[in-house]
Amino acid sequence: MTANKRPQVVIVGAGFGGLWAARTIDTSRADITIIDHNNYHTFLPLLYQVSAAELEPEEIAYPIRAILRKVRHSDFILADVKGIDFSKRLVETDGVKIPYDYLILATGSTSFYFGVPGAEENAFSLKTLEEGTILRNHILCNFEQAVHEADSGRKERLLTFVVVGGGATGVEFAGALAELIYGPLERDYPTLDFGQVRVILLEAADNLLMHMPEKLRRYSLERLSGMGVDIRLGAVVGKIEKSAVHLKDGSIIETDTVVWTAGVRGDPLAERLGLPVSRNGRVKVMPTLQVPEHRNVYVVGDLAYFEEDGEQLPLVAPVAIQQGTVAANNIVRQIGGREPEPFEYKDRGTMVTIGRNAGVARLPGRSYTGLFAWILWLAVHLLNLIGFRNRILVMINWSQDYFLFERAVRFIFPSGAYSKIKALQCASKPETGERKEKKEFG
């Protein structure tokens, strides 16, 4: 950093951690550049509602440049970060190379499959807006195909939906899917026998929502079962094939739809950079969120491995937000010649929604089930969603769902009817990344 140059702070990832860091940094002291391979921020806590045809993808996304308009001395670069040259202080992307004085890594997490054969290839993941939309299209396509399917075995596979993982995402998605199927879809497809349709939730442990108090777990289990979800506890997945899930106890579930919500790991970028990572690929940071070998580099959010009272912090938005804020303030302290301060997580509780009028909430010192927890969940998510328009649209969709038992977003879109991507939309799990691109574009 030269004497006449303002410090350059580069933030990789415009999720909760990165965005909150950008909003916090005192830009009278530094210039900031935020890099993301999407030009929008995704509000991941509502992603499962995109898959369950409840919300449009756009309603849970917001343009990064629009957010940065309010942040002086800030810039955005749309690029995929491929590497970092720590000695030259350069971020290497698929396009430009970006110099930095201080760096915040906030690239989040990806699904982790615990080495289960076939899981990555055949199961749907729920981590990005594309994945959420592809899953919605797939579910709706299954019903369209089932209507005309003469082969009873194939029909059964089309109408069996398996969710792996009884954590918050698995519970929320299974509940929303059951409400979609046994509500609007049952009315849409009068010729189908909905007694044949199954939503199965597999959990390896002996209960759902293991991070919640016992009372809330019991409530969730009873409520979800009451909604028609077939919950199988102690069910360990051994293998996933294109049209079947094999459990370790030898049983087989024939299905064309497996949704994997069972495991999460830090974004593989950290390992590629040679940073010290935990077993689940999260970067082991100092109490100040700095990387031990590079004191001008901070890691926040899902990508950071941070222990408190001997336990790693959960991969949730409040952790990312609080860490992004502390990392930003620590950089300003460093610029001013002061020591960075340690991070301390303020746990304000967790909430999970199960379905209509049903939620669970663990708040400091108290826990709630039922209508109150559900309303609390709705309010917190609506308030935290970025964008006034998004809030209004989400509220309209939720109201329509609540009062009219209707889901507004039952589109198979992009339809792919006559396009090259037909196979991606109406078949089993599409391939991703390079292989997909080659297939689509020749």
Ligand X SMILES: Cc1cc2nc3c(=O)[nH]c(=O)nc-3n(C[C@H](O)[C@H](O)[C@H](O)COP(=O)(O)OP(=O)(O)OC[C@H]3O[C@@H](n4cnc5c(N)ncnc54)[C@H](O)[C@@H]3O)c2cc1C
Taking the least distance from each CB to ligand X, the nearer of 13 and 118 is: 13
Q: Active site residue: 54, 56, 131, 172, which one? A: 172
Closer of 185 and 283 to ligand X (Cβ) = 283
Quick check: 268 and 107 in contact, CB under 8 A? no
Q: Going by DSSP bridges, is the β-strand pair 237-241/244-247 parallel, antiparallel, or unpaired?
A: antiparallel
Of positions 63, 117, 238, 318, contacts ligand X by CB under 6 A: 318
Shortest CB 266 distance to ligand X, Å:
9
Interaction residues for ligand X, span 204-263 (CB under 6 A) = none
- DSSP strand pairing (290-291 vs 294-299): antiparallel
Residue 47 in the binding site for ligand X (CB under 6 A)? yes
Smaller CB distance to ligand X: residue 92 or 121?
92
Nearer to ligand X, 197 or 300 (CB): 300
- In the list 7, 8, 11, 18, the residue contacting ligand X (rule: CB under 6 A) is 18
User: Which tokens hold the place of 434?
Assistant: 């390079």
Q: Is 166 an interacting residue with respect to ligand X (CB under 6 A)?
A: no
Shortest Å distance, C-beta 301 to ligand X: 2
Choose, by CB under 6 A, the member of 81, 227, 283, 424 that binds ligand X: 81
315 binds ligand X (CB under 6 A): yes
Rounded to an integer, what distance in angstroms lies between the CA atom of residue 387 and that of residue 389? Answer: 5
For ligand X, the closer CB: 15 or 281: 15
In the residue annotation, 172 being an active-site residue is answered as: yes
389-391-394 Cα angle (round to 5): 105
Query: Where do contacts with ligand X occur on this chain (CB under 6 A)?
Result: 12-18, 35-38, 44-45, 47-48, 80-81, 106-108, 126-127, 168-169, 267, 269, 301-303, 315-318, 320
Q: Which residues are catalytic?
A: 172
